[in-house]
């Protein structure tokens, strides 16, 4: 945005806002529009409302905030939009403004995000939560609302195998994912090692990417976490990520911080599927996975990183795969969305579960921990695709 | 926008459900326009019924309060048809979107009006069937909106427009009564009221259920992309193909500006240095399509095509169509606003009119994209502009008028498929005499004597002219 322009109510870039031609081609790709069939929950509608506010036609009120909060930020509308409208950027800026006015993100949600940057504290806290869960001290009724997995690990296997030679690639381990899904990291490390690469993980300082903070309109926290994360990955080796949400955020640091160093950092980031696809020929694959695998593309992989295709190459080498027929529409997990908008998120998930069931595949592969947890909650057998590769290579 | 009376709101809320009657300021902004830039009018109240009975209730309550009604589907209309004028009760069909029943034997289906065109085809795909009319907006537009606009699409060249695929329509009339127009048998005795309703753009009633014809998926399809160094050559190829007795399923042309805009989005491998491309599709039994395809290749080459590519895979074919169908949406890659025209000229006059159009637009310093159904001479010149540039809107208006006049002078007609709506209402007098128009009004009055359905649309009244392009400052329509 030009510096000379006056700051508008929401601070949106007028060129981005004007780009929408209101054709509506994005509507069927928007999970919240599908769930509500109302214009207020559509990308075109949200842009129209931003315009009304920016033009001074209407003042921000509860309705406006509600309509903005109902967006999952899946960015399915971006890949559907022939006019290349940057919806994600518009919505992020809107949330930053609403967040700075304390209009979105309840106080306890903001507090809840604070520990994500303190990795050891998070691991201890998470284990404690696991203990409470086993002792049935967290009421079942509130668990889905809190976004907790069915069984929070109390003890975690150490991360490995790690290399002691110079690093060919880093594995990014993240915050909540390391606490709850360390087995995915270890599967990734085993498969990466099987390609002959020397892989390492950063110390605890690289812990949280700040994606959830951006979703909640907490821009300052997100930038602080970004600077810290970048410092944890010295050198120029690729940074491999097995969480699509974190990967999208890391790839966005260049834009978030606007520095050359951040752009260079972002250019090093690869989803593990992207990293692995060109290296598949280095693996010795002697059998195939026992059942058909339905591929569920996380939005952060398909619509944000636009890096969902490499998983086809990887998975089809080890298993029979099935595609969903919903054009990659969101499953409703969306970071903290399933917690903040439980009703809509549930109805979006129901639609996704139907699409998965139509494939007839007993196992679903999803390359994002948030989506896996959310879909597992609906009773599906969800694996990270790297776990499927790992199982074929190394057994269950 | 005027606030709706509390009694009206209370009655509507009692008849539907409170959350399906919207009247907050932000909600009204959302239903103030369609996909075109021709009108913007936040309505007093918006209703989202679930059933025919609820539609009836809305219409009756509106009538009791002396308020008109504007039906709305997905709001992809390009003629301002769903813009709520005269403070109506807006009835949105998006929640009435079920596929009610399919009759596999007779290949028909009853559907609710809010069902999306592409969703219908997908939901019957497992039966080897599809719904043939395929407007470029098919992923979003509703069957009800298609019926009201008698929409066409690339594949209507072979199969005909919406009217040829709609057998019967359940309609809620302006007084709240329900009737069924047409019927399952193809040639019902008596007047074809179904035919009168198709294309009535919401001015004769609200379609609440539609009996559509489904088509078997063709056994083979061949899709070709021919690349030309001039529009003249491409047009000659169109005439040559049709002259050779081939009836393609679709025959579409895009010019250089259009190719640049869509390739940016679809990455379909379109030739960026071509002056025009033709997208041609043939379908049918394998042997026939092969012969037709090679004949098309030959005709294109003879007309000067630089290259002809045959889509090798289903994915490649889908990508070519994705490119073609994103044309209107993709224009913001060039400029943020567009003014789209929709007129049909005799195929023999295609080149002449095209050249005139380019001349009209470029002489005013504007940019035009041409994408159209070449097979039936349906032109869609799209003028792209940035509303924020001073004086540009006037130039666009003048160019638009000159284009329409040029088409009519060449023996063309106003609308191929997008409808008259608000956009072209005041141009109706260019093609119809006063007597013609009066008879059309009388037909409309038979369905809606109080003229409460979608007022100010289709037929000229003179009252709205002054305000036609009045837009609130900064509304970016
Ligand atoms: C990108 C793009 C591409 C397009 N391509 C094509 C194309 O190839 N061919 C084509 O023909 N059109 C095309 N259109 C125009 C538009 O999509 C069609 O006119 C479509 O049929 C409108 O459907 P809708 O559901 O969006 O209707 P709306 O825009 O909501 O309404 C259109 C008109 O129908 C009336 N209406 C809606 N539902 C009902 C109902 N149930 N009963 C009675 N009246 C009703 C409205 O009052 C209005 O007058 C395109 C539009 C866009 C944005
Ligand atoms: S966001 Fe893109 S696809 Fe959606 S209405 Fe706007 S221009 Fe069309
Ligand atoms: S980001 Fe997702 S939920 Fe939000 S408007 Fe776009 S498609 Fe809809």
Q: Is B218 exposed, middle or buried (0-12, 13-18, 19+ CB in 10 A)?
A: middle
| Distance to chain B for A44, nearest Cα, Å | 9
**pLDDT-derived band at B223, boundaries 50, 70, 90:** very high
Domains contained in chain A, number: 3
Mean pLDDT for the stretch of residues B453-476: 51
Closest CA relative to residue A81, chosen from A119, A30, A41, A154: A30
Answer yes or no: are the C-beta atoms of B400 and B385 closer than 8 Å: no
| Ligand 1 midpoint to CA B342 (Å) | 14
Alpha-carbon B144 to chain mean position: 12
pLDDT tens-digit profile of B275-297? 999 999 999 999 999 999 999 99
- Give the residue from A67, A100, A133 where a domain finishes: A100
Per-residue confidence (pLDDT) for residue B464, from 0 to 100: 36
Q: Is A22 in the pocket of ligand 2 (CB under 6 A)?
A: yes
Let me know whether A161 and A232 are in one domain. Answer: yes
- Kindly list the residues from chain B whose CB atom is less than 8 angstroms away from the CB atom of residue A37: 48, 94-95, 97, 114
Per-residue confidence (pLDDT) for residue A205, from 0 to 100: 55
- Kindly list the residues from chain A whose CB atom is less than 8 angstroms away from the CB atom of residue B472: 55, 57
Closest CA relative to residue B56, chosen from B145, B144, B178: B178
More confident residue, B414 or A14: A14
pLDDT tens-digit profile of B385-397? 888 889 998 998 8
- Give the residue from A100, A124, A152 where a domain finishes: A100
Q: Whose CA is nearest to atom 5 of ligand 1?
A: B136
Let me know whether A89 and A224 are in one domain. Answer: no
Q: Is A147 exposed, middle or buried (0-12, 13-18, 19+ CB in 10 A)?
A: buried
For residue A82, what is the domain's CATH number? 1.10.1060.10
- Kindly list the residues from chain B whose CB atom is less than 8 angstroms away from the CB atom of residue A324: none
Q: Is A77 in the pocket of ligand 2 (CB under 6 A)?
A: yes
* Chain A interface disruption, residue of B332, B339, B371, B471, most A CBs within 10 A: B332
Per-residue confidence (pLDDT) for residue A207, from 0 to 100: 72
CA atoms within 13 A on the CB side of B351: 11
Q: Whose CA is nearest to atom 8 of ligand 2?
A: A23
**Ligand 1: which atom is nearest the Cα of residue B457?**
49
Q: Name the residue in chain B with its Cα closest to that of A22.
A: B35
Domain-located, residue A108 = no
Alpha-carbon B333 to chain mean position: 22
For residue A356, what is the domain's CATH number? 3.40.50
Q: Residue B130 gets which letter from DSSP?
A: E
Residues 6+ apart with CB under 8 A from A28: A34, A80, A327, B116, B118, B119, B139, B140
Token pair 């994005």 is found at A26
Let me know whether A269 and A290 are in one domain. Answer: no
pLDDT at A388 over 80: yes
Mean pLDDT for the stretch of residues A290-308: 95
Tell me the CATH number of domain B220-328, given options 3.60.21.10, 3.40.50.720, 3.30.70.2190, 3.90.45.10.
Answer: 3.30.70.2190
Please give the CATH number for the structural domain made up of B335-423: 3.30.70.2740
pLDDT at A291 over 60: yes
The CB density around residue B460, as the number of other CB atoms within 10 Å, is 18
Domain-located, residue A51 = yes
Per-residue confidence (pLDDT) for residue A284, from 0 to 100: 93
Domain-located, residue A255 = yes
Tokens of B237: 């190829």
pLDDT at A27 over 80: yes
DSSP string, A239-266: EEES-HHHHHHHHTHHHHH--HHHHHHH
> Alpha-carbon torsion A9, A14, A20, A26, what sign?
negative
Q: Is the CB of residue A56 less than 8 Å away from at least one CB of chain B?
A: yes
Per-residue confidence (pLDDT) for residue A227, from 0 to 100: 92
Let me know whether A363 and A296 are in one domain. Answer: yes
| Distance to chain A for B450, nearest Cα, Å | 30
CATH fold of B99-216, please?
Answer: 3.30.465
β A169-172/A239-241 pair status: parallel
> Alpha-carbon torsion A267, A308, A297, A151, what sign?
negative
Q: Whose CA is nearest to atom 7 of ligand 3?
A: A30
Closest CA relative to residue B309, chosen from B321, B298, B318, B297: B297
List strand residue ranges (DSSP E) for chain A, in order.
Answer: 169-172, 199-200, 239-241, 269-271, 293-296, 321-323, 363-366, 381-383
* Planar angle of CA B462, B463, B467, nearest 5 degrees: 105
Per-residue confidence (pLDDT) for residue A216, from 0 to 100: 73
d(CA B62, CA B44): 11
Mean pLDDT for the stretch of residues B8-17: 97
- Give the residue from A275, A298, A333 where a domain finishes: A275
Let me know whether A118 and A256 are in one domain. Answer: yes
pLDDT tens-digit profile of A94-105? 998 998 887 776
Per-residue confidence (pLDDT) for residue B470, from 0 to 100: 31
Tokens of B457: 């649309």
Q: What is the complex's ipTM, to 2 decimals?
A: 0.89
d(CA B319, CA B304): 25
Q: How far apart, in Å, are the Cα atoms of A243 and each of A176, A188, A212?
A: 11, 11, 13
Domain-located, residue A105 = no
A184: left (phi over 0), alpha (psi -120 to 50) or beta: alpha
Domain-located, residue A280 = no
Tokens of B379: 């032109």
d(CA B371, CA B391): 26
- In chain B, % of residues over pLDDT 90: 65
CATH fold of B6-92, please?
Answer: 3.30.43
pLDDT at A2 over 60: no
- The pTM score is 0.90
> Domain locations in chain B?
6-92, 99-216, 220-328, 335-423
Let me know whether A132 and A76 are in one domain. Answer: no
pLDDT tens-digit profile of A41-70? 999 999 999 999 999 999 999 999 999 999
pLDDT tens-digit profile of A178-203? 777 889 999 999 999 999 999 999 87
Let me know whether A385 and A360 are in one domain. Answer: yes
β A381-383/A363-366 pair status: parallel
List strand residue ranges (DSSP E) for A1-131, in order.
Answer: none
For residue A14, the surrounding DSSP H or E stretch is: helix A14-18
Q: Is B380 in the pocket of ligand 1 (CB under 6 A)?
A: no
Q: Name the residue in chain A with its Cα closest to that of B324.
A: A82
Tokens of B289: 């399509």
Token pair 């427009």 is found at B161
For residue A323, the SS3 value is strand
Domain-located, residue A228 = yes
Q: Is B329 in the pocket of ligand 2 (CB under 6 A)?
A: yes
For residue B382, the surrounding DSSP H or E stretch is: strand B381-385
Q: Mean pLDDT score of chain A, rounded to an integer? A: 87
Domain-located, residue A244 = yes
- Kindly list the residues from chain B whose CB atom is less than 8 angstroms away from the CB atom of residue A52: 26, 29, 475
> Alpha-carbon torsion A322, B137, B168, B21, what sign?
positive
pLDDT at B423 over 90: no
- Domain range for A250 is 114-275
Q: Is A25 in the pocket of ligand 2 (CB under 6 A)?
A: yes
d(CA A155, CA A126): 10
pLDDT tens-digit profile of A115-130? 666 666 666 666 666 6
Domain-located, residue A294 = yes
Asked if the Cβ–Cβ distance from B94 to A64 is below 8 Å, we say no
- Three-state SS across B29-85? HHCCCCCCCCCCCCCCEEECCCCHHHHHHHHHHHHHCCCCEEEECCCCCCCCCCCCC
A102: left (phi over 0), alpha (psi -120 to 50) or beta: left
Helix extents (H) in B244-349: 256-266, 286-302, 314-325
Per-residue confidence (pLDDT) for residue B476, from 0 to 100: 26
pLDDT at B86 over 70: yes
Q: Is the CB of residue A239 less than 8 Å away from at least one CB of chain B?
A: no
Ligand 1 pocket: which of B77, B92, B131 to mutate (most atoms within 8 A of CB): B77
d(CA A296, CA B329): 27
**pLDDT-derived band at B176, boundaries 50, 70, 90:** very high
Mean pLDDT for the stretch of residues B253-261: 92
Token pair 């695998």 is found at A293
Let me know whether A301 and A360 are in one domain. Answer: yes
Let me know whether A201 and A269 are in one domain. Answer: yes
Q: Matching CATH topology for B99-216 and B220-328?
A: no
């Amino acid at each position: 945005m030009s510096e000379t322009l006056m700051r508008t109510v929401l601070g949106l870039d007028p060129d981005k806002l004007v780009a929408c031609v209101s054709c509506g081609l994005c509507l069927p790709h928007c999970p919240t529009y599908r769930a509500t069939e109302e214009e207020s929950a559509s990308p075109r509608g949200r842009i129209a409302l931003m315009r009304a506010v920016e033009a001074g036609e209407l003042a921000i009120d509860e309705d406006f905030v509600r309509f903005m909060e109902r967006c999952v930020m899946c960015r399915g509308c971006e890949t559907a939009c022939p006019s290349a409208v940057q919806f994600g950027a518009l919505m992020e800026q809107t949330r930053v403004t609403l967040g700075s006015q304390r209009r979105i993100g309840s106080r306890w949600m903001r507090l809840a995000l604070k520990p994500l940057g303190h990795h050891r504290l998070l691991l201890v806290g998470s284990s404690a939560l696991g203990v409470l869960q086993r002792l049935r001290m967290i009421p079942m009724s509130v668990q889905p609302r809190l976004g907790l997995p069915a069984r929070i690990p109390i003890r975690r296997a150490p991360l490995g195998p790690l290399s002691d030679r110079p690093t060919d690639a880093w594995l990014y381990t993240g915050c909540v994912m390391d606490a709850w899904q360390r087995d995915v990291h270890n599967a990734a490390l085993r498969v990466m090692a099987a390609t002959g690469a020397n892989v390492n993980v950063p110390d605890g300082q690289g812990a949280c990417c700040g994606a959830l903070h951006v979703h909640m309109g907490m821009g300052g926290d997100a930038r602080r976490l970004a600077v810290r994360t970048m410092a944890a990955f010295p050198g120029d080796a690729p940074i491999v990520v097995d969480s699509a949400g974190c990967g999208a955020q890391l790839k966005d640091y260049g834009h978030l911080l606007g520095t050359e160093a951040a752009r260079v950092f972002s250019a090093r980031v690869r989803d593990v599927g992207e990293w692995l696809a060109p290296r598949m020929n280095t693996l010795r694959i002697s059998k195939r996975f026992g059942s058909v695998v339905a591929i569920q593309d996380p939005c952060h992989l398909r619509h944000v990183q636009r890096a969902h295709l490499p998983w086809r190459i990887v998975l089809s080498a080890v298993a029979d795969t099935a595609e969903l027929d919903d054009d990659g529409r969101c499953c409703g997990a969306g970071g903290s969305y399933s917690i903040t908008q439980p009703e809509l998120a549930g109805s979006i998930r129901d639609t996704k579960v139907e699409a998965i069931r139509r494939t007839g595949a007993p196992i679903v592969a999803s390359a994002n921990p948030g989506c896996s947890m959310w879909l597992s909650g609906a009773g599906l057998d969800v694996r990270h695709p790297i776990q499927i590769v790992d199982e074929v290579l190394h057994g269950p | 926008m005027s606030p709706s009376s509390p009694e009206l709101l209370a009655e509507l809320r009692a008849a539907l459900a409170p959350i399906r009657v919207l009247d907050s300021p932000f909600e009204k902004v959302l239903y103030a326009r369609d996909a075109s830039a021709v009108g913007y009018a936040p309505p007093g109240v918006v209703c989202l019924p679930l059933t025919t009975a609820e539609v009836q209730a809305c219409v009756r309550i509106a009538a009791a309060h002396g308020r008109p009604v504007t039906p709305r589907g997905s709001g992809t209309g390009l003629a301002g048809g769903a813009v709520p004028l005269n403070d109506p009760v807006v009835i949105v069909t998006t929640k009435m979107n079920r596929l009610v029943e399919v009759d596999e034997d007779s290949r028909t289906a009853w559907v609710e009006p809010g069902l999306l065109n592409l969703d219908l085809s997908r939901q019957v795909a497992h039966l080897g069937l599809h719904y043939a009319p395929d407007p470029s907006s098919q992923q979003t537009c509703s069957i009800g909106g298609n019926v009201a606009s008698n929409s066409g699409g690339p594949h209507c060249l072979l199969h005909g427009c919406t009217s040829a695929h709609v057998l019967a329509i359940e309609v809620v009339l302006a007084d709240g009564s329900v009737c069924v127009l047409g019927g399952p048998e193809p040639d019902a005795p008596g007047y074809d009221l179904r035919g009168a309703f198709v294309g009535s753009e919401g001015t004769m009633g609200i379609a609440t259920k539609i009996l559509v014809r489904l088509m078997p998926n063709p056994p083979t399809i061949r899709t070709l992309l021919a690349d030309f160094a001039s529009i003249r050559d491409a047009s000659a190829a169109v005439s040559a193909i049709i002259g050779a007795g081939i009836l393609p399923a679709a025959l579409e042309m895009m010019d250089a500006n259009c190719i640049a805009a869509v390739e940016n989005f679809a990455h379909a491998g379109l030739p960026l240095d071509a002056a025009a491309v033709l997208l041609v599709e043939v379908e049918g039994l394998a042997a026939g399509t092969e012969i037709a395809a090679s004949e098309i290749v030959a005709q294109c080459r003879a007309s000067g095509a630089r290259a002809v590519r045959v889509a090798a895979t289903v994915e490649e074919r889908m990508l070519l169509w994705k490119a073609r169908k994103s044309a209107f949406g993709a224009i913001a890659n060039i400029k943020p606003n567009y003014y789209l025209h929709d007129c049909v000229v005799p195929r023999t006059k295609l080149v002449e009119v095209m050249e005139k159009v380019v001349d009209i637009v470029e002489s005013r310093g504007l940019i035009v994209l041409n994408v159209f159904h070449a097979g039936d001479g349906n032109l869609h010149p799209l003028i792209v502009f940035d509303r924020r540039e001073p004086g540009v809107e006037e130039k666009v208006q003048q160019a638009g008028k000159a284009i329409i006049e040029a088409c009519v002078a060449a023996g063309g007609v106003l609308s191929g498929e997008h409808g008259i709506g608000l956009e072209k209402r005041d141009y109706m007098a260019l093609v119809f005499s006063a007597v013609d128009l009066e008879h059309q009004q009388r037909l409309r009055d038979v369905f809606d004597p109080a003229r409460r359905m979608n007022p100010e649309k289709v037929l000229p009244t003179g009252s709205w002219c002054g305000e036609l392009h009045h837009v609130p400052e900064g509304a970016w329509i």
